Amino acid sequence: MASTLRSIGGSAIRRSLLSSTRPSSSSSLSLLISNSSRTTPSTPARFQRMTLSTQPYNQCLYTPLAEYDPEVQTIIEDETYRQFSGLELIASENLTSLAVMEANGSILTNKYSEGLPGARYYGGNEHIDKLEILCQQRALKAFRLDPQVWGVNVQPYSGSTANFATFTALIDPQDRIMGLGLPDGGHLTHGFYTAKRKISASSIYFQSFPYNINPDSKLIDYEYLEKTAKVFKPKILICGASAYPRDWDYHRLRKIADDQGAFLMMDMAHISGLVAGQVQNNPFEQCDIVTTTTHKTLRGPRAGLIFFRKDKDSTIESRINNAVFPACQGGPHNNTIAAIAVALKQAADPSFQEYAQAVIENSQALAARLVELGYDLQTGGSDNHLVLWDLRPIGLTGSKVEKICDLCHITINKNAVSGDTSAQVPGGVRLGSQP
C-alpha cells in the first residue's frame, strides 16, 4: 500500500507543501490565520481611533484571539498546519482563498437581516441589501445565466438546507421524489432510507424511491430510471450525486421528467465549480431547479444556493424564497453571503476555467495511474473531480485505507461502493483532485 501511495503521489498530483518541520506560532504560517482585530488600509480611520471601553465586560471585544483564548488559537494553528503539510484529497472539501476567509470573518456577522433585500424585518440593512443583491448578481454571472430567466436565493446555510427548502417550495408533504440511491453514489438528502428506518428528513416528510446504476457498467441506468419513474410517478426527479465520477445526460433526464410532469432538479454541489469552469455538461440548459453548496469545487465558504427558472412559473420565486425563510431557517448569515460573493467573483474570472481544467486532468491522471497499477475503480475512471476506488478485490475496507492514509498525511474518506451494505465499514474510498 505504501508503494502504491508513493507511486500515485509522484505521477498524478503536483503539490507545493510547506516544510515538514513544524513552525512556531509566530512563524509565517500563522499569517494564514485571519485576525479580525487587525486593522487594514481599508479600515475607516474612525474605527482605527476607536477608544476602548474601560468596563471589564467590554475588554474581550477588542482583545485578539491569541491573547484572549490561546487554546482556540492553538487548535486553529494546528489545523492550519495539518491542512498545509499533507495532501488533502477529500472530494467534498477545498482550500478557500484568504479573501474569502477575510469576508467570512468580518463584522457582517453582527447584523441580523431576516427577509429579503428591501423587505427586512429589522432596520439598518441598507448595506446588507447591497451585499445580497451583489451576491445574487455574481451567482448568475458565474454560471452565465440570464437574470430574466433565472433567479437565485443565496441565503441557505448549507446544501442540505437548500435541498429541503426546494422540496418544501415545490411539493406537498408525502409527495414523491426520486434520486440516485446512496450506495450507488447518491446523497442523503435525496430521500435516503433503509429497510429499518427513514434516515434523511427528505424521506421522512416525502415519499422517496431511488434509481440505481447499472451493476455491470456502474453508470446511471437511464432505462431502469425511465421504467421506474413511470410506475412511481415522482413530482421531483433529482439528479446529482455525492460519489458518482461521471457526467450527467440532462437531455434524457429532461424527457423522463417531462413524461411524468415532474420538476427536474440538479444538485450540483460537487461539480458546481466545474460547471462554472465549463468543463462539465451544463445543467441549467435543461433543469428547472439547480442547487449547490459553495465550498467544494466552487472554493467558497460553507453554504448553499438555490437557482430557479422563473420564466415558466411566475410563482416559483416567491415559493423558493418563502421556503428558505421563514419555513426552513431564520436570518441569513451575512458574513457567509459576503464570502460567497467573493468566491463567485473568483469563479467568474477567466483563470478559474484553467483551474477547473486542471482539476479534471489531475483526477483523470490519478484514475489512470490506479488502473495501471491494477486497481478497480467504479465506472473505470472519472469525468469530474472525484475517483471512487473499490478496495474489495484486494481485501481491504475503506476504513482501513483511510486510517493508513492518515498516517501518511494524506486525507481521504471511506465511501460506499455499489453493493455495500455498511456505511461505517464500506468497501471503497473517495479521492478528490480539487484542492
Helix (H, G, I), strand (E, B) or coil at 28: helix
DSSP letter (8 states) at residue 96: -
Choose, from 69, 93, 102, 114, the residue flagged as catalytic.
114
Cβ-contact 149, 310 below 8 angstroms? yes
* Cell 508503494 sits on residue: 3
Torsion over CA: 272, 273, 274, 278 (sign): positive
Cβ-contact 154, 340 below 8 angstroms? yes
Cβ-contact 340, 135 below 8 angstroms? yes
Half-sphere exposure of 256 (CA within 13 A, CB side): 28
The torsion angles phi and psi of 415, rounded to 5 degrees, stand at -155, 145
Choose, from 267, 288, 383, 402, the residue flagged as catalytic.
267
Task: Specify whether 402 is catalytic.
Answer: no
In 262-379, DSSP assigns E strands to 263-267, 289-293, 304-309, 376-377
Beta carbons within 8 Å of 65's beta carbon, 6+ residues apart: 35, 37, 72, 73, 76
Choose, from 176, 218, 246, 296, the residue flagged as catalytic.
296
* Distances in whole angstroms, Cα of residue 299 to Cα of each of 159, 364, 428: 14, 20, 25
Task: Specify whether 228 is catalytic.
Answer: no
Choose, from 168, 228, 293, 411, the residue flagged as catalytic.
293
DSSP secondary structure letters along 117-152: TTEESSS--HHHHHHHHHHHHHHHHHTT--TTTEEE
Q: Quote the cell numbers at residue 217.
A: 457498467
Task: Specify whether 267 is catalytic.
Answer: yes
DSSP secondary structure letters along 51-86: PPP-SHHHHGGGS-HHHH-HHHHHHHHHHHHHHHSS
Torsion over CA: 400, 404, 407, 410 (sign): negative
Q: Quote the cell numbers at residue 4.
A: 502504491
Cα-Cα-Cα-Cα torsion 172, 270, 136, 304, nearest 10 degrees, comes to 50
Task: Specify whether 57 is catalytic.
Answer: no
Task: Specify whether 296 is catalytic.
Answer: yes
Task: Specify whether 218 is catalytic.
Answer: no
* Distances in whole angstroms, Cα of residue 314 to Cα of each of 102, 311, 321: 38, 7, 13
First to last CA, the chain: 23
The torsion angles phi and psi of 216, rounded to 5 degrees, stand at -95, -55
Choose, from 120, 176, 299, 302, the residue flagged as catalytic.
302
Active site (catalytic) residues? 112, 114, 267, 293, 296, 302
